[in-house]
Amino acid sequence: MLQRVLNSAGIDVRSCAELLGFNPDMFVQWAANPNQIPQSVVPLLSAVLSVPQSLFTTSPKAAKHLKDEDVTPQIWYKFRGEGLQESDREYVVLIRQIGHFLNELEEVTRQKSVQWKTLFESIRSAVDIQAPPTEQGKAAARIFRQSTSLAHGASGSGNVLRGLLRALGVLVVESPLANSRIEGCCFYVGSTNSPRPCVFANSHHTTWFRRNVILVHEVGHAIFEHLAGASLDFSGVGNSHDSIELRAQAFAQETLIPKEVLFHAAQSRGIKWSALNEYALACLVADTHVEQKLVVSAAIDYGFVESERQDQLNSFEIHGELLKLSDHALSTEQFLEKNGESTSDWIGKRTTTLLPKAIRLPIGYVNAVVDAYRNRQISPGKAAEYLLIDEQELAERFGDIYENVEY
């Protein structure tokens, strides 16, 4: 049955073994003979492949009567689609593994975050399902803001966004995926009995301002398309007339840059809408923490500028001005050069090394693992496993606490 699930997902058996840290030859034997699968690894396989644990104990006789559509998890229908590569599916495997580890970690530390569930369900029940998609997105965003700290104040929320989502229990992953068309996606991770939403933004050649929009756009998908298995957004592909995308984008705009936030940003800078120039637009981007296109779109929707000016405002070259206003406009290399070696070391501490594909782990996840290790709630070996590095690498990266924790 393991082989059939992997085939249905479009995942190579040996590649999957390497991604999960198993001996490929042994994994091939497991795929051919489910009886050989150790019970201790069944929860991980179940979470990563998004299938019930009971499926791995299905007898060969019973398995013969199952059709492919009976065993193919919902998520893989999306990730087998046109334009997707095997490397995309491999990253999904990695991210789902992190989700499984996070669930384990929260069980050990007794700090499980499930606030997202109540919030998402309350939004879905409150939004009029017959309303236009943009109004659905805006209504959902207003509830989202009112139910979180985003409603406090009228400033940009990019600096608190990731922490807020983590506090809700959402897994936030931003990592470079160089040879992929995926700009952002969302899906649920963890066991089939205890899933959590995960939002992913491809950080390869994207700005921090753009990724803020991508992440909240994907949260919108996670709220409304929770039965779809996964939602995918591709770079360079516009879906402005797709109702699902219209709703998610309206959610992102109303969450990140509602009218009061944009009005306050302009008023505090003394910006006159009739005289917008490159510097003024750069100020609005720096203060609202969202990309230029969304600032312009919001300004038009709220009636601050005429729609006829949209193309002109989007064509303004503001990067030079933005560099003077916000460190978030710096490239990774520029940021590291400005902020010193310690920042570079911290980025290195978030990058996995144990598996054939590297992924940059979320800061909050790394901190949670390190805190659990420091508090002697997990062993050095388990901490290294969760960070997808070996124990020697753990000692090199976190030697200050490694030497002070005894078991």
Q: How far lies 311's CA from each of 292, 300, 301, 314, 405, in Å?
A: 12, 11, 14, 5, 58
- Token representation of residue 71: 């065993």
pLDDT interval class at 407 (50, 70, 90): very low
Concatenated DSSP letters of 38-60? -GGGHHHHHHHHT--GGGGG--H
Say how many C-beta atoms besides its own lie within 10 A of residue 111's C-beta.
11
**Residue 361 corresponds to which amino acid?**
L
Residue with tokens 């929707």: 301
Choose the weakest-confidence range: 40-44, 254-258, 333-337, 359-363: 333-337
User: For residue range 289-314, what is the model confidence (pLDDT) as tens digits?
Assistant: 999 999 999 999 999 999 999 999 99
Percent of the chain scoring above 90 in pLDDT: 61
Residue 403: pLDDT over 60: no
Residue with tokens 């990730």: 79
Q: What pLDDT does residue 405 have?
A: 46
Q: How many Å apart are CA 177 and CA 197, to the nearest integer? A: 20
Q: What pLDDT does residue 121 have?
A: 97
Q: What pLDDT does residue 339 have?
A: 65
Give the CA dihedral 143, 149, 151, 152, nearest 10 degrees. Answer: 160
SS3 of residue 313 by DSSP: helix
pLDDT interval class at 190 (50, 70, 90): confident
Among 269, 256, 253, residue whose Cα is nearest residue 156: 256
Nearest 5°: the CA angle 245, 266, 209 is: 40
Q: How many Å apart are CA 234 and CA 227, to the nearest integer? A: 20
Are the beta carbons of 182 and 206 closer than 8 angstroms?
Answer: no
User: For residue range 137-175, what is the model confidence (pLDDT) as tens digits?
Assistant: 999 999 999 999 898 878 899 999 999 999 999 999 999
Percent of the chain scoring above 70 in pLDDT: 93
340 Ramachandran zone, left/alpha/beta (phi>0; psi -120 to 50): left
Mean pLDDT of 124-135: 96
SS3 of residue 357 by DSSP: coil
β 182-189/196-202 pair status: antiparallel
Are the beta carbons of 287 and 269 closer than 8 angstroms?
Answer: yes
Q: How many Å apart are CA 306 and CA 237, to the nearest integer? A: 26
User: For residue range 102-116, what is the model confidence (pLDDT) as tens digits?
Assistant: 999 999 999 888 999
Which one has a higher pLDDT value, 240 or 123? Answer: 123
Q: How many Å apart are CA 218 and CA 233, to the nearest integer? A: 9
Mean pLDDT of 189-205: 88
Which element (helix H / strand E) includes 188? Answer: strand 182-189
CA 300 to chain centre: 29
Residue 135: pLDDT over 80: yes
Mean pLDDT of 182-207: 90
Are the beta carbons of 73 and 228 closer than 8 angstroms?
Answer: no
Residue 406: pLDDT over 60: no
Mean pLDDT of 253-265: 96
β 196-202/230-234 pair status: unpaired
Residue 33: pLDDT over 90: no
Q: What pLDDT does residue 146 have?
A: 95
User: For residue range 345-367, what is the model confidence (pLDDT) as tens digits?
Assistant: 656 788 999 888 889 999 999 99
Q: What pLDDT does residue 237 have?
A: 66
Q: How many Å apart are CA 249 and CA 243, to the nearest integer? A: 10
Cβ-count burial of 237 within 10 angstroms (0-12 exposed, 13-18 middle, 19+ buried)? exposed
Among 89, 72, 87, 101, residue whose Cα is nearest residue 8: 72
Mean pLDDT of 244-250: 96
Q: How many Å apart are CA 169 and CA 120, to the nearest integer? A: 12
Nearest 5°: the CA angle 282, 286, 291 is: 75
End-to-end CA distance of the chain: 39
User: For residue range 11-27, what is the model confidence (pLDDT) as tens digits?
Assistant: 899 999 999 999 999 99
Rg (the chain; Cα; Å) = 23
Helical axes 332-339 vs 341-349, angle rounded to 10°: 130
Say how many C-beta atoms besides its own lie within 10 A of residue 74's C-beta.
13
Residue 240: pLDDT over 70: no
Q: What pLDDT does residue 401 have?
A: 66
DSSP 389: S
- Token representation of residue 118: 């109540």
- Token representation of residue 264: 């306050």
Residue 86: pLDDT over 90: no
Average model confidence (pLDDT) across the chain: 89
Mean pLDDT of 209-224: 97
pLDDT interval class at 377 (50, 70, 90): very high
